[in-house]
Amino acid sequence: MFVSCSKEDKQQNPKTSKDIKQETESTDDTILSPEEKFSTSITEDFLDAPEDEDLQAYLEDELFSKYSKDFRGASVMQLTNTIWYVSLETNNTTKNFLLQKFVDFNSNDYYFVLKETTLTNADVISSANLFRNSSVVKEKVVQQTQQQTPNPK
């Protein structure tokens, strides 16, 4: 009795790296608590800052735990390295907050303060655009570029 294989037989249902990644993500999602899913979504998808464990802990322990019962969703926009603009939404009503990260003088531990603000998304976006387009920022970029570029003599 002869048994043979061809290249076509070996290539049935090959898994791509995308398929493997999706399987891993779906497996990881089942392990995470709702709080962890929330903080991971915010830090990875919104902020691209998955390494900020302090922020993740705050999002899980404070923001999610306190506000998920009264609000349908949250959006977080990073304004600076230590300040975030947080919008909580429910039934077409939005509350906006500024979240700021501090370091304690005595313990060197980080802590966060969340304060409601009257700023709107439009305010934050237009301010960010003004900042990006300001002459001070452009001047700093030019100076940094000049410092990094060797002067040919």
How is the chain split into domains, by residue range? 33-119
Q: Which CATH class is domain 33-119?
A: alpha beta
Distance CA 151, CA 137 (A): 22
User: In this structure, are residues 119 and 85 in contact, taking their beta carbons and an 8 Å threshold?
Assistant: yes
Q: What angle do CA 64, 106, 79 make, to 5 degrees?
A: 45
pLDDT (tens digit per residue) in 24-63: 455 455 699 999 999 999 999 999 877 889 999 999 999 9
- Please state the pTM of the whole predicted model: 0.66
Q: Name the residue type at position 102.
A: F
Query: Quick one: pLDDT at residue 118?
Result: 94
Nearest 10 degrees: Cα torsion 126, 129, 130, 136? 160
Whether residue 66 has pLDDT greater than 70: yes
